Chain A
Amino acid sequence: MTLPIIGFAGMSHLGLISAVAAAEKGFDTICYDPDSQQIAKLARNELSIVEPDLYELLEKNQSRIKFSEDLQELTTCDLVYIAVDVPTDDLAQSDLKPINSLVSQVDANLGSDAVMVILSQVPPGFTREHLRNGRQIYCQVETLIFGQAIARALYPERTIVGCAEPSNSLPQAFAQFLDSFGCPILPMRYESAELAKISINMCLVASVSVANTLAELCENIGADWSEIVPALKLDKRIGQYAYLAPGLGISGGNLERDLATVCNLADQNGTDSGVVRAWVANSHHRRDWVLRTLHQGTLSKVDDPVITVLGLAYKQDTNSTKNSPSIALLENLTPFQVRVFDPVVPASAAPNPRCHAAESEYEACDGSDVLVVMTPWAQFKQLDLLKVAKRMRDPVILDPYGVFQAKACRDAGLSYHTLGVPAE
């Protein structure tokens, strides 16, 4: 049987990852983006995003991936994914103009039997609004995780497909492509699929909010959240993969978008969204844990302190700084000297006039009064803590994500502070 040709419109993070996964599954793919510079870079395997295994798979599947700025290339496709990232503003509201425009352009360039699938992050109601006579259109839920995007794209737990009529069979090309991923396919009405994506994220936010709320309590009553988490994960109602690691609030952009969407829909429909707004408030509160702790221990006590910040990305294994807690922290440290290091994000991303771009983690610690680990990059775990302590003026570590072991820090003479554990 001939394999269908898969098109991807929009070479954003989502589009590129999805296209590489399709090629890895053996499908010829055509990747369209109107940005000719972006297309030229991708054709040379030059990547502007960081994801484990992405470069290797792109190189390996080069023969099956064609990058193009020509929309008409998509006419040969049997199935085309609309995979452009939907931008959000400072209030996490989606700007749908670019995707609306892209859908119209792609639709006009597809063969009559070709299937269009909306993969982008769209609000409930979007796909039905784009139903057109004669065009087979579906939506598919992406559950991309920055830093694990390739693995998630290759081995999804399930595929959620939004359909005009869920009881009808999927078109052959679409079914053939989805079957290659070997996971359950869940067809449902458009609105259900669009809300399923949001529902997944709400469950994750709920778990994280529980973790953050109780971790803060632990910090104040002598309990240790890291001791409690294993007990929760062994409870079948909670589960071993539950998001129970405390953090610095919600970041990255996508979860915030979904929170805003739920609040907007609730406002429009008169349903209760009090708990969602409470999650948002809790996220804002926890984001500033580092600032409050820094103020208490250093900023209010040391004259012109030097602060080391390791990590600028919003999480490890990505170069995205969207809503990054590190960037948010640095915005509030403008009066102070900061020494910054991130393995992939340049120090120029730090909004601080007194920022020193360090060439290494160790150099960043020179003469510092406090070390703050704002992104849990794996390479930070390998640091020689004795060496770190020796280079610092005052050996204090704020490690919200628990990159280091408390005992190892203490042994190295470092005063250690992390989430979910009372301060020493």
Chain B
Amino acid sequence: MIIHTNQEPTKPPRAVLLGATGFIGAAIQQQLNSAAITTVALGSADINLLDSAASDRLGEILRPDDSVVVLAALTPDKGRDIATLMKNLAMMQTVCAALEKSGCGHLVYFSSDAIYGTEVSQVTEETPVAAQDLYGTMHYTREIMARSLAAVPVLVLRPTVVYGRDDTHNSYGPNRFRKAAQTDGKITLFGGGEETRDHIHVDDVAALTIRCLLHRSTGMLNVATGVSTSFYEVAETISKQFGGGVEVITTPRANPITHRHYDPTNLIKAFPDFSFISLKDGIARVHEGSANTL
């Protein structure tokens, strides 16, 4: 459930993106530019949040009326161990220390659906947090760190599986399937690909973030479409983009089937006219933007 501080959309004086060069950060930056919102885009090359002087440096950059979007994190492909957890917490500690000094008009923290238990098939904002790995634990801890900041209006966004053309991660789903189709001419599924997941296009994530910035929304929101699709269907859709010449291979099942659906009611209440990119259209959009010859 989120609350719009600005009932009418109002451009923030300035947006500061931490993690601007990442997959989602870059998409948000692009839409901020399109919306003519003054943006300071910072990646790890601009400011290393693990550096001992980073807090002071960031504090000098930030202004009290900034809208700050925190995406910077070491993702699971960079490590799932305790050391990665501690680095991620240290990065957030840097951000919080800077914000305590400078203050800000609005803080948007990008969390993850990894904070929910894998056994939960229907997720709402009321679903109890039950992180089952260090990555989920990290995000939930960072959410609490963000909320602990005095006098900073905080919005936490918990996105589901995000896909898009420029995704650098190789997690199981549309991105990996497309790469496999392109390079190997085949997509190999776990079992029959029966598991259902909610896949959201990165442009939708960015568009919703811009809306939250314009409304200076606070609270917590799952960022998901409300439509879950099986991995088999995703693979078949991608295969069709390649003219059907991509083989979808099923394998003997090693793990139980789990499903994940989102109830998008709160998102609809927040943005009742928002229109999601369908998975089919989103996959086509990714395909058109890539070199896609077999």
Q: Report which A residues bind B (CB closer than 8 A).
A: 281, 285, 288, 291-292, 295, 299-301, 332-333, 335-336
Contacts and interface: CB of A to CB of B under 8 A. Distances in A.
Contacts of B272: 291, 295, 299, 332-333, 335-336
Chain B contact residues: helix, strand, loop or mixed: loop
Given A292-B264, A299-B272, A300-B273, 19 more contacts: A285-B263, A285-B265, A288-B265, A288-B268, A288-B269, A291-B269, A291-B272, A292-B226, A292-B268, A295-B264, A295-B268, A295-B272, A300-B274, A300-B275, A301-B275, A332-B269, A332-B272, A335-B273, A336-B272
B126 interface: yes
A292 B274 CA distance: 12
Interface in B223-258: 226
Q: Which 8 A-B pairs have the closest CB atoms?
A: A300-B275, A288-B265, A295-B268, A332-B269, A299-B272, A299-B273, A291-B268, A335-B272
Contacts of B124: 285
Nearest to B226: A292
A144 B226 CA distance: 39
B276 interface: yes
27 contacts: A281-B126, A285-B124, A285-B263, A285-B265, A288-B265, A288-B268, A288-B269, A291-B265, A291-B268, A291-B269, A292-B226, A292-B264, A292-B265, A292-B268, A295-B264, A295-B268, A299-B268, A299-B272, A299-B273, A300-B274, A300-B275, A300-B276, A332-B272, A333-B272, A335-B273, A336-B272, A336-B273
Contacts of B263: 285
A205 B226 CA distance: 27
Interface in B262-293: 263-265, 268-269, 272-276
A281 B265 CA distance: 13
Nearest to B266: A288
A333 B273 CA distance: 10
Contacts of A285: 124, 263, 265
Contacts of A335: 272-273
A317 to B, nearest CB: 29
A172 B276 CA distance: 69
Contacts of B264: 292, 295
Nearest to B276: A300
Contacts of A295: 264, 268, 272
A65 B263 CA distance: 53
Nearest to B264: A292
Nearest to B127: A281
Nearest to A304: B273
A336 B273 CA distance: 9
A292 B263 CA distance: 9
A365 B273 CA distance: 21
A276 to B, nearest CB: 15
A57 B67 CA distance: 64
Contacts of B275: 300-301
A217 to B, nearest CB: 12
A281 B124 CA distance: 10
Nearest to A303: B273
